[in-house]
Structure 1
Amino acid sequence: MLLALSVSDDEEDVEPGQPVTVRAEYGAITKASLIGKHGTHVKDDLRSDGTFWTTTEPLGYGKTYTLTVEAKGEDGKTVTEESTFTTATPDRTVAVSINVWDDETVGVGMPLIFTFTGPVPDRDAAEDAITITADPETEGDFRWFGDSQVIWRPKEYWEPGTEVTIDAEIYGKDFGEGTFGAEDKTVSFTVGDKLVAVADGKSHKLTVSINDKKVKTMPISMGKPSTPTPKGIYTVMSEHNWYTMDSGTYGVPADSPGGYRLDVEYAVRLSNSGIFYHSAPWSLGDQGRTNVSHGCINLSTENAAWLMNKSNRGDLFEVRNSGGPELDPTDGWSVWQLSWEEWRSQ
C-alpha cells in the first residue's frame, strides 16, 4: 500500500490556493479529512475508486491544518497517515480587476486587461493563474505593461459570436517576494458583431462597416493641423450620453487661449490621452470639409448617436490620413497597433 500526500508533516508556507491531494497505489483511500485548528472541516472530494482525494475549497492564509488519511491495501491491511502543516502568511496581497464586465457583449477588438493592485514579481505565476476559455477556441497571448498590468489579446480579431469565460484564480497563489493573490474572479462575455469605423482625414468622412459590409458613411472633422488626431487602430473604451470635455485634463486651463470646457452628447472614448468621437453641432459647417478639432472626431448629433447606439466597447476605430503621429500602443486599449510578432516579443 502506498499513499502520496501533497503536504509533509510540519511543512510551512504551503500555498493556500493549491489543493491538498492524496493518491493511493496498491489499495484505496477509505476516509480522508482536512481539519483546521478550530475543528473546521475543509470541503473535499474522494474519487469513487478510492485512488484520489482532494480539497475543493481554498485554505486560509497563515492557518494550521491537519490531514488524516485512512486507506486499505490490496492485502486487506489498514494504513493511517497524518500530516499537520501551516499555510503561508503573505507580506502583501494583490487583487485584480478585469476590464470586461460579466454578461457583456463586446467588439471584436476587445483586449482582456488584468490590473493588479500592486506589483507582481513573478509574472509567469500570475499568467498561470489566469485561464481564458473561448468557444470557438481562440489563439492569444499575454503582454505586460508595467509591473502590475498584463493584457491578453487574440492573435486575430475575435470571431463574432465567440463565448468567452475568464477564470482569474489568483487566491492563495504565490506571486513571489511575499506577494500572494487576494481573491478569485470569473467573468463571462460574448463577442458581438464586427463593427469597424474608419475615419479618413483627407476625405473628411467616416465609413462604418458591420460584419465586413459597409452600412454608413458620414461627414466628420478631425484634429486641426496644430492638434492632429494620432493615426492608427483604436479600440472603443467607454461610451457616455454626456461628457464634460476639459482642456485642463491635459494641462491647458479652460480660460486660457486654446482652452475649453464644455458638455458634449454621445461621447465615446478611444484613448486615455483624450481622443473621443462625439457630437459637435458647432462644427457642422466644417464636417466633411476640413479638420478643426482639438484632436477628437467631430460628428453631427444624429450621426454620433447612431454610431454610439450601434457600437460596443471593444469595437475598432481606425484613423487614417490625419497628419498626426502614430497612435501609441500604450495609449488606452490600442493593442492592435502592434503586430502579433511585436506583441509576443516581450
Structure 2
Amino acid sequence: MARGRGAPVDKNLRQHHVTSPRPSFWTVRSHRTHLRAGVPLAALTVASFALASCGTPGGAVADDAPATASSAAPAPKLAPEVSVRDGASNVAVDVPVKVESRGEGLAKVSMVNEEGREVDAELSGDSRSWSTTEVLGYNRTYTLVAKDKNGQQRSVTFTTPTPAYTTGVALSPLPDSEVGIGQTIGFRFQSPVTDRKAVQDAITITTSPQVDGAFYWLNDYEVRWRPQYYWEPGTQVSVEANIYGLDMGGGLYGAQDNATNFTIGDRVIAVVDDSAKTMSVYRNKELLRVIPVSLGRDGSEFVTPNGRYIIGDKHEKLLMDSSSFGLGMDQGGYKTMVDYATQMSYSGIYVHAAPWSEWAQGSTNTSHGCINVTTEAAAWFQSVVKRGDIVHVQNTQGGTLPVWDGLGDWNLSWEEWSAGNA
C-alpha cells in the first residue's frame, strides 16, 4: 500500500512503536433555565389572600395568577475531535490518525500531504469515526479537514519526523524454510543502532509450542535470538520486526518492517572427535554413519577450534582462497576449487571434499582448519544436513569457536547469552 509520502515502499526489506498523545473525546452541554416574569411575588401573595377571602359576583374565583415555564437552550454544536493537535511535530508515522464526531456524524474528512496526495482512510459504518489505513511518510506535512453533519468543522496541520538516517533489517532464516535444531534468528541492520531496547521491543517472536529465548547483540549492527536449549523438531516459528517509524536513537529510524517464518526439522547432529579422527552423524539420535576426517594441522595457527558450530550455506563447488583470512600465496597460501563444501563458520571452516588428503583422513590432521573427507562422504554429508543443524567439534588442540564468528552462537552459556540483551 502506498505511504502518505506518495511513494511505494520496498517490501523486500521491511524494516514497540512511537505514539503521539491523543486527547480523549468529550461532550459539553450547557443548560439555561428562563423564568417568565409575571406579578411580583409579594403582590401575588396579597392578591391570593384577598381572592380567597372575598368572592366575586356569581361566586366565581378570579384566576389571573401569572403562568411560569422553563425551557432549555439547545446544546452548542461541536466540531469533530482529532487525535493529533494542530501544529504538532514529530507525529508518529505508524500510529493511525483518528477523527471522532461530537455531533450527528461526520459529513466529510480529508487528509492530504503537502503535495496534495490524499491519505487512504476508512469511515465507520455509522459515520461517527474515521481513521487512516496507511502508514504516514517521514518528513511530511499533513493537513486534515473534518466536517460534521451539524455544520461544525475542524482543521489540523502537523508534521512527521525528519530522520537523519533510516535503516532496513535483514532477517534469517528465509521465510518458509525448514531448519535444524540449532538455528538462531538473525537481525542485521544497515546502520548502527544505539537504542537497542527500542529495537528489541519492536520484535515479536511467536513459537508453537511456546519456547523461551533471549537476544544477544554481536555488535551495533546485528542482534541474534536463540532459545535456551536446542529447538524441538516440529516447532513452528514466526518473526515480525515492526521497525518502520521506530526511533532507534541518534537520528536513526526504521525504513521498513520485515518478517520471516520457519519450521524446525529433524534433529541432526554431527560429532567430530579429533582424538578418533572421525565424524559421527546422527539423525533423531540414530547413528547414520561414521566418517574418517582430517582436521586443521596440530601445533599450527590452523588448528580447528572446538565448539558447537551451526551449519550455514551449502555449495556444490566453492573456491577456497586463503587470502580471505590473510594467508597470501607467498606464505604457502592457496586458491583451490573444492566440491561439496558445507559451511560451519564465517571464518571459512567447511566440511568439504579433499581427495588429496585421503591418505590422512582418519589418522592425521593436515588441513588449514576445515574438515577434510572423501568426495563421496562430502556429497553424502551435504545431502543429509540442512541449515541450522549442529556440528560439535571436540578434543582438538584449539580454543573454542567465538560467538562473533557468526555460527558459534551456542558456544556461550545461557547466562552469558541472556546477559547480552538490552
Tell me whether the two structures share a fold, i.e. TM-score over 0.5: yes
Q: 1:82 to 1:230 in 2, by over 3 A?
A: same
Relative to the length of structure 2, the TM-score reads 0.74
Partner of 1:63: 140
In structure 1, distance between residues paired with 2:266 and 2:293 = 24
Deviates more, 1:39-48 or 1:280-289: 39-48
Secondary structure of 1:306 counterpart: helix
Secondary structure of 1:298 counterpart: strand
Partner of 1:322: 396
Secondary structure of 2:249 counterpart: coil
Q: 2:328 aligns with which of 253, 278, 283?
A: 253
Once the 2 structures are TM-superposed, how far is the Cα of residue 47 of structure 1 from its aligned partner?
5.9
Partner of 1:43: 120
Secondary structure of 1:313 counterpart: coil
Task: Give the fraction of aligned pairs with identical amino acids, expressed as a percent.
Answer: 42
Question: Is 1:294–2:371 an aligned residue pair?
Answer: no
Question: Is 1:162–2:239 an aligned residue pair?
Answer: no
Secondary structure of 2:410 counterpart: helix
Q: 2:275 aligns with which of 202, 205, 210?
A: 202
In structure 2, distance between residues paired with 1:159 and 1:55 = 42
In structure 1, distance between residues paired with 2:165 and 2:115 = 25
Q: Which has the higher strand share?
A: 1
Question: Is 1:229–2:304 an aligned residue pair?
Answer: yes
In structure 2, distance between residues paired with 1:50 and 1:176 = 40
Question: Is 1:151–2:224 an aligned residue pair?
Answer: yes
In structure 1, distance between residues paired with 2:273 and 2:118 = 64
Partner of 2:46: none
Question: Is 1:244–2:309 an aligned residue pair?
Answer: no
In structure 1, distance between residues paired with 2:122 and 2:82 = 15
Partner of 1:175: 248
Deviations 1:88-118 (A, max 9, x none): 1111111211232222221121111111111
Deviations 1:23-70 (A, max 9, x none): 789998786553323443323345667787543321111111133456
Conservation of the 8 A alpha-carbon contact between 1:254 and 1:260: yes
Structural RMSD (CA):
2.5
Q: 2:409 aligns with which of 316, 321, 335?
A: 335
Give aligned pairs, total: 341
Once the 2 structures are TM-superposed, how far is the Cα of residue 135 of structure 1 from its aligned partner?
2.4
Letter in 2 for 1:315: D
Counting only pairs closer than 5 Å after superposition, residues 71-220 of structure 1 correspond to structure 2 as 81-220=154-293
Q: 1:80 to 1:290 in 2, by over 3 A?
A: same
Secondary structure of 1:175 counterpart: strand
Conservation of the 8 A alpha-carbon contact between 1:235 and 1:317: yes
In structure 1, distance between residues paired with 2:112 and 2:194 = 32
Secondary structure of 2:360 counterpart: coil
List gaps (5 residues or longer) in structure 1: none
Q: 1:309 aligns with which of 383, 397, 410?
A: 383
Once the 2 structures are TM-superposed, how far is the Cα of residue 324 of structure 1 from its aligned partner?
1.0
Letter in 2 for 1:20: V
Letter in 2 for 1:254: M
Question: Could you say which structure has the larger radius of gyration?
Answer: 2
In structure 1, distance between residues paired with 2:84 and 2:101 = 14
Q: 1:9 to 1:224 in 2, by over 3 A?
A: same
Deviations 1:110-155 (A, max 9, x none): 1111111111121122222222222223222211122121111122
Q: 1:16 aligns with which of 93, 97, 100?
A: 93
Conservation of the 8 A alpha-carbon contact between 1:106 and 1:313: yes
Q: 1:315 to 1:29 in 2, by over 3 A?
A: farther
Letter in 1 for 2:89: E
Q: 1:176 to 1:256 in 2, by over 3 A?
A: closer
Deviations 1:168-187 (A, max 9, x none): 22222211221111122222
Secondary structure of 2:199 counterpart: helix
Once the 2 structures are TM-superposed, how far is the Cα of residue 242 of structure 1 from its aligned partner?
0.8
